[in-house]
Structure 1
Amino acid sequence: MASNDQPTVIKKYANRRLYNTGTSTYVTLEDLANMVKDGEDFVVHDAKSGEDLTHAVLTQIIFEQEGKTGQSMLPISVLRQLISFYGDQMQMVVPSYLEHSMAMFAKEQERIREQMTSMVGKTPMDLVTSGQQMVEEQTRRNMEMFRNAMQMFSPFPATGEDEAAEEKTAQTSPDELKSMREQIAAMQRKLDSLES
């Protein structure tokens, strides 16, 4: 095992074998995928030249995971969009955008998992109520994020009317929340169609 502050070094040999210097054993791409899932940091170096092959090996792991039946996470439309950004002037922005988006997704995923764990042992009615609260809370967060994003494009500062509208939004009924969710979904579909 590597120390906490240093990633484990994996050496890749000409015969494509991978050697984990931390455990002094040969490993497979599946083993490396499990290391990633366990949060263990590693780098892959060519055993002869010392060249850093980490990016290529991680990409190969994704390729293999995508090839497994029932495990595909990257829709064809996303793959096409990624390919279209290569060589484009936006190519420099895409990596930081993806990194930020994945970090936000991971943060939300952990919060949802914690909420689901806290529901264990509750009655079915408690689960329904908790589920509705989670959806309402997420809707409020999405609306706030959308509102903040739209303010970035507004040339005018927020006014007292905006604050009153925000206060009214905080007191919305479940029917109004459902209507807002439908509107957000419709806007997302329009944005998705524009990106295609």
Structure 2
Amino acid sequence: MKSERIIKKYPNRRLYDTEVSRYITLSDVRELVMNCATFKVVDAANDSDITRSILLQIMLEEEAGSDPLFSAAMLSQIIRFYGGTLQGMFARYLEASLDLFAKQQQEMTQSWTETPFDTMTRLTQKNVEIWADFQDEFMRAAGFDLGGDRQDRQQKSNESS
């Protein structure tokens, strides 16, 4: 198994990729991300991990482009979570959401051999189930008693109808 790729950031703000023994740019780091390469960026002066900072710089450059991913309102909402009691829960929620989205994107790409309508129907049903389960976990973590799991409540609802 390949070890984690190390990129060093020097005081002159240059990035050095130790795997290929050359200086690289933020665009090169972006390519590593796009290729799902595992890497770590360290400050050459003190070996501290600055990977998140470099990734945020890449996001900032992308957001400054003509087709940003985040609206000002969305960024404001995210900023409001910092320091709040739900910061950790929000981080886990956002990470789980992105993981789910990436998995569904991969499934959709792989399943286009089926009819598009069948694919969309199946993914929509799966998405509803996953989000319902995730919402249940979120509510339980917040201290709400939902009275059993989602399937039990759904069955009781169907029986009373």
TM-score (norm 2): 0.80
Question: Which residues of structure 1 form unaligned runs of 5+?
Answer: 120-129, 167-196
Secondary structure of the equivalent of 2:69? coil
1:9 aligns with 2:36: no
Alignment of 1:163-178 (within 5 A): 165=158
1:155 aligns with 2:147: yes
- Structure 2: distance between partners of 1:46 and 1:150: 41
Corresponding residue of 2:52: 55
Q: 1:133 to 1:163 in 2, by over 3 A?
A: farther
Q: CA RMSD in A?
A: 2.5
After TM superposition, give the deviation of residue 92 of structure 1 in Å. 1.9
After TM superposition, give the deviation of residue 150 of structure 1 in Å. 5.7
Identical positions, percent:
31
1:80 aligns with 2:76: yes
| Contact 2:104–2:123 (8 Å) recurs in 1 | no
Number of matched pairs: 150
Structure label with greater radius of gyration: 1
1:141 aligns with 2:133: no
Moved more, 21-30 or 138-147: 138-147
Give the helix-richer structure, 1 or 2. Answer: 1
Residue identity opposite 1:131 in structure 2? P
Residue identity opposite 2:61 in structure 1? E
- Structure 2: distance between partners of 1:11 and 1:45: 5
Q: 1:162 to 1:38 in 2, by over 3 A?
A: same
Secondary structure of the equivalent of 1:9? strand
Give CA-to-partner distance per residue, 1:155-193, whole Å, 9 cap, x none: 25727x827949xxxxxxxxxxxxxxxxxxxxxxxxxxx
Residue identity opposite 1:144 in structure 2? E
After TM superposition, give the deviation of residue 141 of structure 1 in Å. 2.0
Q: 1:108 to 1:50 in 2, by over 3 A?
A: same
Secondary structure of the equivalent of 1:19? strand
- Structure 1: distance between partners of 2:122 and 2:128: 10
Secondary structure of the equivalent of 1:93? helix
1:98 aligns with 2:94: yes
Question: Which residues of structure 2 form unaligned runs of 5+?
Answer: none
